[in-house]
Amino acid sequence: MPWRLRILLSEVLGWITQFFYFTYFGILNFILKELKKAETEKNPDSLEKKHD
C-alpha cells in the first residue's frame, strides 16, 4: 500500500474512533445529568442529606 494511502487510512480510522468516543462520552454525560436532575426533582433534599 502506498505511504500516502496508508496515512490517509490511519487519519480516517482515527477520526472514526474519535467520533465514536466523543459520541459515547456525550451520551453518557447527558444520561448522567438527566438522572441527577430527575433525582433532585423527585427528592429535593436528597443532596443536602448526602453531604452531611
* Exposure of 17 in the CB half-sphere (CA atoms within 13 A): 6
The pLDDT of residue 46: 63
The answer as to whether 3 is a domain residue is no
In the chain, the amino acid numbered 21 is: Y
The answer as to whether 1 is a domain residue is no
The pLDDT of residue 41: 85
Residues 6+ apart with CB under 8 A from 40: 46, 47
pTM above 0.85, yes or no: no
Domain span at residue 36 reads: 24-52
Length of the chain: 52
Q: How many domains does the chain have?
A: 1
pLDDT 10s digits, 4-46: 999 999 999 999 999 999 999 999 999 999 999 998 888 877 6
The pLDDT of residue 21: 97
Is the pLDDT at 51 greater than 70? The verdict is no
The answer as to whether 11 is a domain residue is no
Give whole-number Cα distances, 5 to 9, 15, 19, 28, 39, in Å: 6, 15, 21, 34, 51
The answer as to whether 31 is a domain residue is yes
The answer as to whether 16 is a domain residue is no
Quote the distance between the C-alpha of residue 44 and its chain's center. Answer: 26
